[in-house]
Amino acid sequence: MDDIAIELRGIDKSFGLVHANKNINLRVRKGTIHGIIGENGAGKSTLMSILYGFYQADSGEILVNGKSVAIRDPNTAISVGIGMVHQHFMLVENFTVLENVMLGAEDNQILNKGIAKARRELKRLEQEYALEVNPDALIEELPVGLQQRVEILKALYRKADILILDEPTGVLTPAEADHLFRILDQLKAQGKTIILITHKLREIMAITDEVSVMRRGEMVATRTTRETSVEELAELMVGRRVLLRVEKGESRPGDVKLAVQGLTVKDSRGVTMVDGVSFEVRAGEIVGIAGVAGNGQSELLEAIAGIRKPTAGTVLLNGRPADVAGHADPAELRSRGLAHVPEDRHHVGLVLKFEESENAILGYHRDPRYSNGVFLNIDAIRRDAEEKIGKYDIRPPNARLKTANFSGGNQQKIVLAREMERDPDVLIIGQPTRGVDVGAIEFIHKRIIEMRDQGKAVLLVSVELDEIRSLSDRILVMFAGRIVGERSPEATEGELGLLMAGVEGRKEAAE
Amino acid sequence: MSTPYAKLPGWVEYGLIPLVNLAVAFLVAGLVVLLVGENPFEAAYHLINGAFGRGEYIGFTLYYATTFIFTGLAVAVAFHAGLFNIGGEGQAYVGGIGVALACLWLDQVMPWYVVFPLAILGSAFFGAIWAFLPGWLQARRGSHIVITTIMFNFIASSLMVYLLTRVLKPLGSMAPQTRTFAEGGQLPKLDWLLSIFGLNVGTAPFNISFLLALAAAFAVWVLIWRTRLGYEMRTMGHSPSAARYAGIRESRIVVITMMISGGLAGMMALNPIMGEQFRMQLDFVQGAGFVGIAVALMGRSHPGGIIPAAILFGVLYQGGAEIAFEMPSISRDMIVIIQGLVILFAGALENMFRPPIARAFAMRGERAALVQTKGA
């Protein structure tokens, strides 16, 4: 069969006790866009890392264009025409586009010839695939969408016929994502084969020709996209029926619990990240902040939580200023009823090297239940952790296991259990379901709605527009550090997307 | 996405890997011995015999180990909070002031068991002060602790020269040292402990501060894993951003941790000053502060690992001296090379053999799983 670009036969890979890929068989037809979907930890990334030569399979065979090849490292993968666009870009920030593209393919110790060749080649690729980028622009000055384009150009420059894209839309605005899809279509039209790894069902439906579903290291199904549905794919991914829409009743907003007034935050370089932001969150409502990552949401959350010092403005918690004499203390804010689920659970919300029970008290370790001031009450801490493990269905149910060994979804549940079980007045949540599997997303969304219904004031920040729309009672859109508009959750994606891109906002502000 | 994490069984992590590292270190050391034309097996014999051959040798080995337990614990405590305290040398040196003051003050009127607790407090106090300054500079001014603690080693060295030549030296003496302490400033030997095993301590200065070192090791374990302060230190050590999130004040933890670390380093001074020489001499620390770094690395900053690591370095010191004595063509510098190789393989390259060992275990686990599935 010569129309198969990639065939995997019986790929098997274990890391210690973790069986990441179990006897995987996959066929990707030439000139198609093939989606690979699955929950976090289902083994998608491992499989692609094997295909790209980062890992070696323990057993199994890889056929490229019908020929069996041993892919020992990324260089072999490139030489057989496989290119990869990583989730986290592999670009040198202070190099130009041209320098990045030719990095590792310079041809010679003296760069002159290579540069001339690269420039010609870039021009050709630009024309052929409508991939415009200024070759002399510095990477750090390019928006994320263009940086991604450089990654694609890098792969094409190395004569890739088969492109692997790992979660490519995670950092893009809806408009940028659409643009990416157009590029992918263009590439397909030119005969390239594309493998798209994602956990977003909508993208699969929008762009792929075929889709393969992975679950717990196994390839459970391959479908023709036109003949399947979001519901079926979700069910295949999780292994049971999933509720995709969040069910929630009317909100009954009460008193103002959290008020932010003219908050301005500068980062360490003195760049204004949050610019005079004001809003209120009432008891019993969820206020969502939508926006493309990097528009000040992270800094806003940190400032409210007392981790980052604002340069101007105030935060009122239950009507009282959150900072005393310019000093906000996260520990004191916690005791006053503020719970914070941080965006980055790996570096902020958890200490990955701690055992689960130790993380279950992070930030609350001064509580008399857990310590008498000097010694920790290990028994109480573990008992408490086990209780939460049961209540939040954290798996594996082992309070003494190292946190790094839990899956993303379960790690997030550890954080949520810790913050929600304190019965706070105000709950601020950043990226509640980033890197979390579909099954856990459903659970987490339900818990957030429950918190609202119990009369908590919830502030939600997420880059997943769907999540913001389905959970929030009111949506604020942030762009370039400002709140550029407020919408109801019924607002269309297009409308929010324009605000997020700063197009509508500027008009609105001008009016 | 997250890299799958292979966990090794405890006995591999804490037993097999250090042993393999050690074996390789000795193998390379053996090659060095071969290179100078000596018989490596003979050297190995003298090393082991010199460290364990007689009660007296064992006494010396444990005497050195006592010193290294203190300095190893000092480095380990700082490690847990993510601080690299290279100033153990200077802190131990300055800690000697506390010991000397207690002894000079009371040795003629009080028995050792009154002087000892005061000397402990004094040594810990002076050591802590010497570590407080770099800690405070880091917390307040952001001066990097690695740089400042190294500089403080030099300051300590000059300070002690001044004190021992001008202030603490008895009038009329030509030697840069304090007077010899009377009975009250001399710690009893642990001869009874060795005699339980039918050994005779002989002239070895194996003294009661060994028991203090063991108690300190236990106290460090409690501090790190059972107290709130230890929890906060570990949080900061693993993830400063998580510590900030948890409302843990970084500057407070840095200063307190450094003082505890310095205090432990300072207590090292008890062993040579009150246990062996009965006076404070110039350069009595003799590099023990730096050996502490290797001990802490090798013992993985866990008291349960630091004690055996300290004993190993005790063996290298005592047995090494014996090699130099018995095999004249192997100079003292050769011994330092061997010690350096141990530090290199056990400390700096401790992860060299981990991946192959982990892989071997992964394969073994797989085979076991296969057997299981076939059996089922």
Mean pLDDT, residues A388-402 taken together = 91
**CB–CB contacts below 8 A, A to B:** 109
Are the beta carbons of B7 and A17 separated by less than 8 Å?
A: yes
pLDDT bin (cut points 50, 70, 90) of residue A1 is very low
Pairing of strands A256-266, A210-215: unpaired
Pairing of strands A482-487, A312-317: unpaired
pTM value? 0.80
Whether the ω angle into residue A396 lies within 30 degrees of 0, i.e. cis, is yes
Q: Is A64 part of a structural domain of the chain?
A: yes
Is the pLDDT at A379 greater than 80? The verdict is: yes
Which one, of A460, A457, A494, lies nearest residue A475 by Cα? A460
Domain of residue A157 covers: 4-238
CB–CB of A270/A278 below 8 Å?
A: no
Q: Is A385 part of a structural domain of the chain?
A: no
Q: Is A174 part of a structural domain of the chain?
A: yes
- Phi, psi angles (nearest 5°) of residue A493: -65, -35
Chain B interface, best mutation among A362, A374, A414, A422, by max B CB count within 10 A:
A362
Chain B interface, best mutation among A39, A44, A348, by max B CB count within 10 A:
A348
CB nearest B365 (choices: A16, A333, A342): A16
- Phi, psi angles (nearest 5°) of residue B330: -95, 105
Q: What is the pLDDT of residue A243?
A: 61
Q: What is the pLDDT of residue B369?
A: 53
Q: Which residue of A has its CA nearest to B362?
A: A16
**One domain for residues A99 and A217:** yes
In angstroms, rounded to a whole number, what is the distance separating the alpha carbons of residues A233 and A229? 6
Q: Which residues contact A506 (CB under 8 A, 6 or more apart)?
A: A484
Q: Which residues contact B355 (CB under 8 A, 6 or more apart)?
A: none
Q: Which residue has the tokens 């899956």?
A: A407
Q: Is A243 part of a structural domain of the chain?
A: no
Query: What is the tally of structural domains in chain A?
Result: 2
Chain A interface, best mutation among B239, B245, B250, B372, by max A CB count within 10 A:
B245
pLDDT under 50: residue ranges of chain B: 1-6, 373-376
In angstroms, rounded to a whole number, what is the distance separating the alpha carbons of residues A454 and A257? 14
CB–CB of B275/B204 below 8 Å?
A: no
Are the beta carbons of A332 and B5 separated by less than 8 Å?
A: no
Which one, of B302, B296, B227, B225, lies nearest residue B265 by Cα? B296
Which one, of B2, B362, B369, lies nearest residue A44 by Cα? B2
pLDDT bin (cut points 50, 70, 90) of residue A242 is low
CA distance B43 to chain A (A): 40
**One domain for residues A145 and A288:** no
pLDDT bin (cut points 50, 70, 90) of residue A16 is low
- What sections of A249-327 are H helices per DSSP? 297-304
DSSP state at residue A247: P
Q: Is A491 part of a structural domain of the chain?
A: yes
pLDDT tens by residue, B275-305: 999 999 999 999 999 999 989 988 889 999 9
Task: Provide, rounded to the nearest whole percent, the portion of chain A with pLDDT above 70.
Answer: 95
In angstroms, rounded to a whole number, what is the distance separating the alpha carbons of residues A125 and A132? 9
**One domain for residues A137 and A279:** no
**One domain for residues A232 and A261:** no
Q: Is A176 part of a structural domain of the chain?
A: yes
Q: Is A316 part of a structural domain of the chain?
A: yes
Q: Which residue of B has its CA nearest to A54?
A: B3
Q: What is the pLDDT of residue A499?
A: 87
Pick B29 or A105 by higher pLDDT: B29
**One domain for residues A222 and A119:** yes
Q: How open is the CA angle A238-A239-A242, to the nearest 5 degrees? A: 60
**One domain for residues A307 and A163:** no
Handedness of CA A455, A459, A461, A464 (dihedral sign): positive
Pick A488 or A494 by higher pLDDT: A488
Domain chopping of chain B, boundaries: 39-328
Q: What is the pLDDT of residue B1?
A: 33
Q: Which residue of B has its CA nearest to A409?
A: B2
Mean pLDDT, residues A288-308 taken together = 90
Is the pLDDT at A87 greater than 80? The verdict is: no
Q: Which residues contact A441 (CB under 8 A, 6 or more apart)?
A: A409, A433
**One domain for residues A260 and A335:** yes
CA distance B84 to chain A (A): 19
- What sections of A421-481 are H helices per DSSP? 438-453, 465-471
Q: Which residue has the tokens 């769907």?
A: A466
B53, burial (CB in 10 Å: exposed 0-12, middle 13-18, buried 19+): middle
Q: What is the pLDDT of residue A325?
A: 60
CA distance A213 to chain B (A): 17
A196, burial (CB in 10 Å: exposed 0-12, middle 13-18, buried 19+): buried
Q: The complex's ipTM?
A: 0.83
Buried b (16+ CB within 10 A) or exposed e, A132-150: ebebeeebeebebbbbbbb
Q: What is the pLDDT of residue B374?
A: 47
In angstroms, rounded to a whole number, what is the distance separating the alpha carbons of residues A18 and A8? 20
Q: Is A451 part of a structural domain of the chain?
A: yes
Return the CATH fold of B39-328: ABC transporter involved in vitamin B12 uptake, BtuC (1.10.3470)
Looking at beta carbons, which residues of chain A come within 8 Å of B7?
A: 16-17, 402, 405
**One domain for residues A343 and A411:** yes
Radius of gyration of chain A (CA): 24
In angstroms, rounded to a whole number, what is the distance separating the alpha carbons of residues A108 and A187? 29
- Give the C-alpha distances (Å, rounded to integers) separating B278 from B104, B112, B141, B289: 10, 12, 40, 20
CATH number at residue A172: 3.40.50.300
Looking at beta carbons, which residues of chain B come within 8 Å of A333?
A: 247
In angstroms, rounded to a whole number, what is the distance separating the alpha carbons of residues A413 and A345? 10
Which runs of E-coded beta strand occur in A364-437? 426-430
- What sections of B36-87 are H helices per DSSP? 40-52, 55-80
Q: Which residues contact B223 (CB under 8 A, 6 or more apart)?
A: B77, B229, B230, B260
In angstroms, rounded to a whole number, what is the distance separating the alpha carbons of residues A12 and A382? 37
**One domain for residues A322 and A231:** no
